[in-house]
Amino acid sequence: MFLLFAVLCPLFLSAKAILQCPDNVTYTSLHACDPEAFNPCADGYLCRPAVAYGNDTTSTDSTTEFNSTDDSLVLTSHICCSSGNMSVSQYFMESGVSPVAVPVTPVGMLESVIIRDSTNNFAIAVDTIGGDFEPSDSNTGPFTTLEAVAFQYAPAAGSYLHFLVAVDPLLIPSALYFHYNYPSFGNPVYNLTDVNDRYQRGYAAVIGNGSVLEEDLYTSNYVILVFRTLTPLRNATQISVDLNQSSGDLANFLSATNTGGEIESPLLGTLFKVRTGATMFTVSNETVTTTPHNNAISVNAGCYSSLVIIISCSFVLKILARFSKNMEMKSCPLTGALS
């Protein structure tokens, strides 16, 4: 529970604490960064969740000691940490996509994808996992047609590949675009557009109900997953039913439908943000709250409940310390109960 709290929620720093990047990698600054801002960190660094370690004076290249006043608390969550050696699991876990929307992280990465705006026929190439992209022409979008992918390692020939594009999987509304039954040739690059003209394949999509607030620029979070099966998916009607019943909820589609059970866990994947002047969702002029899906709400609620308990514990310790100089309380029993 403590590790989940440390990664997903704002961090509590005691009067003396060490702030450290994941895997103790280097950082550019100890100033907090905003993971929703457009490329808030320098090249080679990402806005990543840091972990606070209290009562530890050990100093390394990627840690620093924080000191707070007697009557204040220091809270932080993200700083610019090196991303050079991040695994695909770290990208999915730190973004919150896993385990909330994708219960099992992909085995490997997609090195690049080409995705097209089906309205204006404008394509972008995304070759960085965790990247944040804004096309030169802000009038493009939304990008919904997956055109080609490059694999970190090629899936075995003789099987079938299924490509799932999810847009805003942690929010409502969200959307799913499913390209399925593509024969695998064992090649490192797969051109879906070329295969569409030569082989029988399937396609289904769903855009969830709900609306987003009208803006000049829309930020969409994309998750692209590749699945492999030994035989093709044969029930096109069931696939369409499963997508429609999911209402675009990626977690529901993967975990609670027949199709999700057939394709099982993703083999490869990537995620990134795209900022465009158009969106696939219904637009409203009234204030709209993009509410997380139910499974995401339960995780966030647990995190913030833990945060309240820890902060309350800190205040109790300070009050007791003022009344008893001889009493030393280095930890709160409630803190141990959270681990």
Say whether both 187 and 67 belong to one domain.
Answer: no
Of 260, 165, 177, 249, residue with least CA distance to 209: 249
| CA gap 244, 207 in Å, rounded | 8
Q: Cα-atom radius of gyration of the chain, to the nearest Å? A: 23
In a domain? residue 272: yes
In a domain? residue 54: yes
In a domain? residue 56: yes
Q: How far is CA 22 from the centre of its chain?
A: 16
Say whether both 114 and 167 belong to one domain.
Answer: yes
Say whether both 280 and 327 belong to one domain.
Answer: no
| CA gap 141, 273 in Å, rounded | 13
Sign of torsion, CA 149 251 105 336? positive
The boundaries of the domain holding residue 216 are 101-284
Say whether both 315 and 202 belong to one domain.
Answer: no
pLDDT at 225: 98
How many domains are contained in the chain? 2
In a domain? residue 265: yes
Say whether both 64 and 120 belong to one domain.
Answer: no
Q: In the chain, which residues have pLDDT < 70? A: 1-18, 53-76, 287-339
| CA gap 225, 216 in Å, rounded | 29
Element (H, E) at 3: helix 2-8
pLDDT at 53: 66
Say whether both 64 and 81 belong to one domain.
Answer: yes
pLDDT at 250: 97
pLDDT at 293: 59
| CA gap 282, 290 in Å, rounded | 12
Say whether both 125 and 221 belong to one domain.
Answer: yes
